[in-house]
Homo-oligomer: A and B are copies of this chain.
Amino acid sequence: MNHDYSLTEIAEFLNAELRGDGSVRITGLNTLQDAAAGDLAFLANPKYASQLSGSSAEAVMLKAEQAEAFAGNCLILDNPYLGYAKITAWFTTVSCAVAGIHSSAVVHDSAEVEDDVYIGPNVVIDAGVKIASGCSISANSHVGSGSVLGQNCQIASNVSIYHDVVLGSGVTVHSGSVIGADGFGFAPKAEGGWQKIHQIGGVRIGNNVEIGACTTIDRGALAHTVIGNGVILDNHVQIAHNCVVGDNSALAAYSGLAGSANIGRNCILGGDACVVGHVTICDNVMLTARTLVTKNITEPGSYSSGSTPMMKTTDWRKNSVRIGQLNDMAHRLKKIENEK
């Protein structure tokens, strides 16, 4: 995987204005600070502008106003960070899998696998599965009966996809993730204990969705669990049964939705932000890290709870014990105000 492109090639791909020598060879990407000869760097955050002059980068992606004072080779972009993001695909370190089904894979006779698909060693594909062109399924993953993968899905190793799960095109699933396990549905029995509610619904995932590692998306109880187009899920995310996640929403690590939670489009959940069951959140809502949502949100904006200021543990103990006295303190304060 040697990467070697001319700066001109990259400029054309990014539709960027090239200043300087377009024939220089770009063999890597890096930050301004760490870049060496052959590296293309980028200046996205103005606070790093001072690194520009000292950088050893072969060329830099930056905005027009930042380019004025820069004498080196550069690509001028409205959004250098987006330019960096786009060009990373040219420098990926992962080998492209060659299409074909490994001899150790177990593919059911009734599965329909298109020609240019890679199925790795010890992958198991059950009856009636459909896998569209361009898909890649890495070692030891499992796709359950009747599930469907759209074009160009990338399934990493040790992924578990249950039956009746439909992925759109361009879906990436990282290792250890589980799609379509039973939702946590049980009815209390009169004599104590729990009666399992078999989960009859499936999972429907849109196009261009990215699912991190050790993330779970449960199947629906009756209807399906639904993930929209362009959704990105980090690691250790939990999507319970019958949740709906709107297009382009982003959920950071440990963020979780309890059963039938419904979140809108373009929402961003910070790490460990959780939503209780049957709550609805409108489009364009941001939840800061650790927020717990216990009621509907109907207005776009940023919401928070739970993440109190960090302090020395000795100070925390003194302050946190007062939280248990807060209602009493409020009443006493009111009393004083009334007595004046």
A residues neighboring B (CB under 8 Å): 29-31, 34, 79, 81-82, 84-86, 88-89, 91-95, 102, 104, 106, 120-122, 124, 127, 138-142, 144-145, 156-160, 162-164, 172, 174-178, 181-182, 184-190, 192-200, 202, 208, 210, 212-216, 218, 222-223, 230, 232, 234-236, 238, 240, 247-248, 250, 252-254, 256, 258, 266, 271-272, 274, 276, 286, 288-295, 301-327, 329-330, 332-333, 336-337, 339-340
The reply to whether A313 and B288 contact each other, CB–CB distance below 8 Å, is: yes
Question: How far is B299's CA from A311's CA once the two chains are assembled, in angstroms?
Answer: 12
User: Out of B124, B320, B339, which one reaches A307, CB within 8 Å?
Assistant: B320
**3 closest cross-chain pairs (CB), A and B:** A160-B175, A304-B316, A85-B187
The reply to whether B310 and A214 contact each other, CB–CB distance below 8 Å, is: no
The reply to whether A85 and B139 contact each other, CB–CB distance below 8 Å, is: no
User: Out of B164, B339, B340, which one reaches A339, CB within 8 Å?
Assistant: B340
The reply to whether B34 and A187 contact each other, CB–CB distance below 8 Å, is: no
The reply to whether A274 and B295 contact each other, CB–CB distance below 8 Å, is: no
User: Out of B124, B213, B340, which one reaches A139, CB within 8 Å?
Assistant: B124
Of chain B, the residue at the smallest CB distance from A158 is B160
Question: How far is B230's CA from A223's CA once the two chains are assembled, in angstroms?
Answer: 26
The reply to whether A304 and B295 contact each other, CB–CB distance below 8 Å, is: no
